[in-house]
Amino acid sequence: MKIYLPILISLFCSVSIPAQEDDPNWVLQEIEGKRQALAERRKIEKSVEPVVRSEYDVRYYGIDLDIDISGGQIIGKTTIRAASKEKSLAEIALDLMSILTVDSIAGAVTEYQHAEDLLTVEFASPVDSGGIFEFVVYYHGNPAAAGLQGFSFSEHEGAPIVSTLSEPYYARGWFPCKDVPSDKADSADIILTVPDSLVAVSNGVLVSVFSRHNGTKTFHWKEGYPITSYLISLAVTNYRTIEQTYTGIDGTTMPVTHWYYPEYESATEILYKTTEMMSYYASLWGEYPFIREKYGNAQFSWGGAMEHQTCTSLGANTYKKTFNELTICHEL
């Protein structure tokens, strides 16, 4: 294992890995899998025109979704707070796929136009350089299943599973944003209303769970560390959980939670190795960077995995109903 460690660290964003016990050439297969994944990502990147949008700096996203699982739709409300980087900024452009319908925008806005996957917003008054502006976009529709996965409605053993994988440019498929990976929001709230039989998981810490009288629950997650748009994620299903505690280098403790499908109960032993992996990595390269929040794995329907901030979206071998140790290790 130590021989291949430098290679393994440089590999793998969102790709499945063969089980070590199935093939002695698992490292070579992993490299080939990564090569194929990078080739697919390059195709995706070429299909999206690159933009910079240097005229403003995103500070905050407040994403509030009511998820209609049976209809495959979302009713969304997203708050965007940003700072002008130009003198007399009169309008900005956000990314939002045109398959979603904008119902209205609240705030100091006079006009908006939504066409060709862009939402252009005109301010009531120009914003000077350094000035902060904020508005709320109300929208609805069928979110995009695009790129490597996008926003997915699927099932496992008859139960719904809703999840996202937005890398690299498909956060725009489910919320309005500056979909430019280099511009991180300082913080984000992700508020998810789902059927009360399900659990909704996202980035950061769980602030509250509110039971409504219409058979739904609202989960409020808060990410306090800077985060780019494609790392904002959600996963919703009838999860069971495993709770662990990670102890950092200076003795700080942090929760580690694994959310998994009930039918994978017999495969969960391997998940307990996560904290040991974290301690080993910390001894090599320093502390886990989100120590004030959490780490977790949330099982989802895609065959690989994705290192969403503070909560990896984790695929599994659906035939054997097993998780892969190397995948868990790598997503850290």
Please tell me the distance from the alpha carbon of residue 287 to that of residue 49, in angstroms, as a whole number. 36
Q: What is the pLDDT of residues 58-109, one digit of tens each?
A: 999 999 999 999 999 999 999 999 999 999 999 999 999 999 999 999 999 9
Say whether both 188 and 326 belong to one domain.
no
Q: Are residues 192 and 85 in the same domain?
A: yes
**pLDDT at residue number 21:** 44
Confirm whether 64 is domain-assigned: yes
Which residues are CB-neighbours of 260 under 8 A, at least 6 positions away?
239, 240, 241, 242, 267, 268, 271, 297, 299
Q: What are the pLDDT digits (tens) for 231-256?
A: 999 999 999 999 999 999 999 999 99
* 3-state class percentages of the chain: helix first, strand second, coil last, to nearest 5: 20, 45, 35
Decide if 144 contacts 151 (C-beta within 8 A): yes
At residue 227, does pLDDT exceed 70? yes
Give CA–CA dist 109/122, Å, rounded.
6
Q: What pTM value is reported for the model?
A: 0.88
153 and 286 assigned to the same domain: no
Q: Which amino acid is at 314?
A: L
Residues 85 and 186 in one domain: yes
Of 211, 237, 263, the residue at which a domain comes to its end is: 237
**Can you give the CATH number for the domain in which 277 is found?**
3.30.2010.30
- Asked if the structure places residue 121 within a domain, the reply is yes
* Cis bond upstream, residue 24 (ω within 30): no
Determine the Cα–Cα distance for residues 247 and 260; give it in Å rounded to an integer: 23
Instruction: Indicate which CATH number applies to the domain containing 154.
Output: 2.60.40.1730
- 117 and 207 in a common domain: yes
74 and 181 housed in the same domain: yes
Q: What is the pLDDT of residues 206-218, one digit of tens each?
A: 999 999 999 999 9
Choosing from 237, 260, 275, the residue where a domain stops is 237
The parent domain of residue 95 ranges over 56-237
Predicted confidence at residue 31, as pLDDT, reads 64
Q: 305, 14 in Cβ contact below 8 A?
A: yes
